[in-house]
Structure 1
Amino acid sequence: MKFDSSSEMPVLNQPNSISPQELINSRWTKNSLQAFPNTNGNIRGANHLRALASTERVIIKQKKEWLEIVLGCETQNHYDVLNEQNEVIFSADENSEFCMRCWCGPLRPITVDIRDEDGVSIMHLRRPLACQELCFPCCMQKMSVQAPPGNSIGSVAQKWGFKPQLHVKDETNQVVFIIKGPLCQFSCRCGDVDFPIYASDGQSECGKISKRWRGVFHETFTDADIFGVKFPPGINPYMKALLIGATFLVDYMYFEHANQ
């Protein structure tokens, strides 16, 4: 699957407004990829995360689990991450307990290990057990992002409200992006479901996460989804990694329910 270049997301700038680029901390620009700290003597992740440096879009494709389709039994999810040339650059695997998958369904606590094409672990995502209902504003969803594993680069946190809203934060807990979603996350019109990405002001749209429509069979009988991510222009691989983590959280929060 390739993105249609005609569907470019415009960057919305009003006269005398601050551009999304100016709202992003300068150390996150594309040319400022700093060296990763030495984690357990392994700094290979620094080179392998560079696969994101020249990529303005990625596709995150969940693999079909036939056991889920046939038996309705929730299994651990597996994904491929593809670049603009439709090449697999990363693979991702969920780690979770069987009992939690049965009892907690899409709310289950998970970790996601993301590896490069050589099998080297370059990212680690962790979501603890939490609620996402309006009646529990003190126990909202959150996902931490490490790149490489052991080196925290930020987190994604759900904000309380009637419409979906996620705050993407850097390692100093500063909001760098705000992701807003529609009140209805179902593909009611057989089309994509979009989650626009805004700069930290919450007004300047600069990117997009889209849940792709896969047809009646997939939407009805399986939760194997495809997501497209259009990154804000000019950001470096660290921030792209944070937005990839945000996409996984969107999947588990709003679309991991087909067999529940």
Structure 2
Amino acid sequence: MTDNYTQKPVSSQPGMPGEWMPMPQVQSSPNCPPGLEYLAQIDQLLVHQQIEILEVLTGIEMQNKYQIKNSLGQQIYFAYEESGCMHRICCGPHRGFVLHITDNSQQEVMRVVRNFKCCAGCCWCADCAECGFEIQVEAPPGNIVGYAKQRQYFWKPELDVQNAEKDTILKIRGPCCLFCTMEDIDYKVMTPDLKTEVGLITKQWGGCFRECITKADNFSITFPQDLDVKAKATLLATNILIEFMIYEQQKNNNNS
């Protein structure tokens, strides 16, 4: 089953003009799609999910929103989810969605698509086409630049980061302990042969109140500054997949 969505305009985005990263003076090219020039100059992203007060008060699943910042705290992008209300209520973190990622001029520069799969989520059979969570990354919308896919695992979460041709360019390896800790949790970004660690996706500990009361999570992503911008964009989308696949699922279980 596939959900089709059309972009809806964002009425406003958080952050005053001075809080946004200045537009880099870099020309777009086939290796740097328009809108991804920001990523060419950085080696870290901070992903802050916004707390939805109505969701906290009612427990009703709302559409997710994220502020995406550089290491200085300047906002680079704003991301907002588009999904069906019944899908959010009935399917929770398993829902299909489109994530629209916009720059400081509210121009959509990236789109992340996850189609609904009724059997997805089981880590033991994730290598089966219909059983693994997968996202498609477009930059600009309509131009596929990469994919991220859940892989089969038993103890440690594993994901593949792929290019537009679905060749694996990076692998993600998580830790054994995902929840029974009050500290940051690291997911190693590895080369395809698993011999070299090149970065980290870190789930940041938000404190007891935030972790217990809300589903809003904070992450950081580090990578080599000279990494291809398309790979950086796909790592950002992989972070969102991890957030849905593991942490929204866990908090949904705790609240059920």
Q: TM-score range by the shorter chain?
A: 0.7 to 0.9
Moved more, 55-64 or 137-146: 137-146
TM-score when normalising by structure 2: 0.82
Task: Name the count of aligned residue pairs.
Answer: 221
Matched residue, 2:40:
53
The change in CA–CA distance for 1:32 and 1:177 in structure 2 (over 3 A counts) is farther
Q: Within the alignment, does 1:132 sit opposite 2:121 as a pair?
A: yes
Q: In the TM superposition, what are the counterparts of 1:40-79 in structure 2 within 5 Å?
A: 46-79=33-66
SS of structure 2 residue aligned to 1:247: helix
Provide the C-alpha distance between the structure 1 equivalents of 2:181 and 2:150, rounded to a whole number of angstroms: 26
SS of structure 2 residue aligned to 1:256: helix
TM-aligned CA deviation for residue 232 of structure 1: 3.0
Q: Within the alignment, does 1:243 sit opposite 2:235 as a pair?
A: yes
TM-aligned CA deviation for residue 156 of structure 1: 0.3
Amino acid at match of 2:102: R
TM-score when normalising by structure 1: 0.81
TM-aligned CA deviation for residue 84 of structure 1: 1.5
Question: Retained in 2: the 8 A contact 1:143–1:157?
Answer: yes
Question: Retained in 2: the 8 A contact 1:206–1:233?
Answer: no
Provide the C-alpha distance between the structure 2 equivalents of 1:64 and 1:97, rounded to a whole number of angstroms: 19
5+ long unaligned stretches in structure 1: 1-30, 37-44
> Which is bigger in relative contact order (C-alpha 8 A, separation at least 6)?
1
Q: Within the alignment, does 1:168 sit opposite 2:161 as a pair?
A: yes
Matched residue, 2:214:
222
The change in CA–CA distance for 1:67 and 1:235 in structure 2 (over 3 A counts) is same
Provide the C-alpha distance between the structure 1 equivalents of 2:227 and 2:124, rounded to a whole number of angstroms: 36
SS of structure 2 residue aligned to 1:46: coil
Matched residue, 1:184:
177
Amino acid at match of 2:29: Q
User: 1:215-244: per-residue Cα shift (whole Å, max 9, x none)?
Assistant: 001111111010000013421211110100
Question: Retained in 2: the 8 A contact 1:58–1:82?
Answer: yes
5+ long unaligned stretches in structure 2: 1-25
TM-aligned CA deviation for residue 134 of structure 1: 3.6
Question: Retained in 2: the 8 A contact 1:33–1:237?
Answer: no
Question: Retained in 2: the 8 A contact 1:57–1:231?
Answer: yes
Provide the C-alpha distance between the structure 2 equivalents of 1:48 and 1:147, rounded to a whole number of angstroms: 8
Please give the root-mean-square deviation of Cα atoms over the aligned residues, in Å: 1.8
Question: Retained in 1: the 8 A contact 2:160–2:172?
Answer: yes
Matched residue, 1:121:
108
Amino acid at match of 1:175: T
4+ residue segments displaced more than 4 Å = none
TM-aligned CA deviation for residue 34 of structure 1: 3.2
Moved more, 239-248 or 131-140: 131-140
Moved more, 142-151 or 198-207: 198-207
User: 1:148-200: per-residue Cα shift (whole Å, max 9, x none)?
Assistant: 000001100111111210000101111000001123321x3310111010011
Provide the C-alpha distance between the structure 2 equivalents of 1:46 and 1:169, rounded to a whole number of angstroms: 17
Matched residue, 1:148:
140
